[in-house]
Chain A
Amino acid sequence: MDASAIIPSVLTVVLAPLLVGVINRTKAIAGGRNGQPLLQVYYDLRKLLGKGAVYSRTTTWVFRAGPMASLAGVLLAATLVPFGPCNALIAFDGDLILLAYLLGFGRLCTVLAALDTGSPFEGMGANREVLFSALAEPALLLGLAAIARETHMLSLTEMHLKLSTGEWATSGLTLALVAVALLIVFLAENSRIPVDDPNTHLELTMIHEVMVLDHGGPDFAFIMYGAALKLWVLGALVTGLVLPAGTGMAALDLGITLGGMLALAILVGLIESTMARLRMMRVPQLLVGATALSGLALVLRFGGL
Chain B
Amino acid sequence: MHLIDLTLVLIMLANLALLGSSRLAACIQLSAAQGILLSLLPLAAGEHGSKAGILLLAFTVFVLKGLVFPALLARTLRMAHVRHEVVPIIGYAASLTTGVVILCLSFWFASRLTLPHPAASPLVLPWALATTLIGLFLIVSRKTALMQVIGYLVLENGIYIFGITLAQDEPFLVEMGILLDVFVAVFIMGIAIFHISREFDHIEVDQLTSLKD
Contact = CB atoms under 8 A, between A and B. Distances in A.
Interface of A: 169-173, 177, 284-285, 288-289, 291-293, 295-296, 299-300, 302-305
B16 A296 contact: yes
16 contacts: A170-B1, A171-B1, A172-B1, A285-B20, A285-B92, A288-B92, A288-B93, A288-B96, A291-B97, A292-B99, A296-B12, A296-B13, A300-B123, A303-B123, A304-B122, A305-B122
Nearest to B93: A288
Given A303-B107, A303-B126, A305-B121, 5 more contacts: A172-B1, A173-B6, A285-B20, A292-B100, A296-B13
Contacts of A173: 1, 5-6, 9
Contacts of A304: 122
A132 to B, nearest CB: 12
B103 interface: yes
B140 interface: no
A297 to B, nearest CB: 9
Contacts of A170: 1
Nearest to B130: A299
Contacts of B6: 173
Interface residues of B, number: 21
Interface in B97-115: 97, 99-100, 103-104, 107
Contacts of A296: 9, 12-13, 16, 100, 103
A77 to B, nearest CB: 27
B103 to A, nearest CB: 6
Contacts, number: 58
Given A299-B103, A303-B107, A289 B96 contact: yes
A281 to B, nearest CB: 9
A168 to B, nearest CB: 10
Contacts of B103: 295-296, 299
B6 to A, nearest CB: 6
Contact of A292 (B1, B16, B121): B16
B100 A303 contact: no
A76 B153 CA distance: 51
A295 B13 CA distance: 12
Contacts of B122: 303-305
Residue among B9, B99, B122 facing the most chain A CB atoms (10 A cut-off): B9
A143 to B, nearest CB: 13
Contacts of B104: 295, 299
A154 B123 CA distance: 26
A174 to B, nearest CB: 9
Given A170-B1, A173-B6, A285-B92, A305 B123 contact: yes
Nearest to B10: A173
Contacts of B92: 285, 288
B128 to A, nearest CB: 13
A295 B5 contact: no
Contacts of A299: 100, 103-104, 107
B188 to A, nearest CB: 33
A284 B93 contact: yes
A299 B15 CA distance: 15
A238 to B, nearest CB: 20
Contacts of A171: 1
Given A170-B1, A171-B1, A285-B20, A302 B107 contact: yes
A305 B4 CA distance: 11
Given A296-B103, A299-B107, A305-B122, A289 B1 contact: no
A289 B16 contact: yes
A285 B93 contact: yes
B102 to A, nearest CB: 11
A285 B88 CA distance: 14
Nearest to B122: A304
Contacts of B107: 299, 302-303
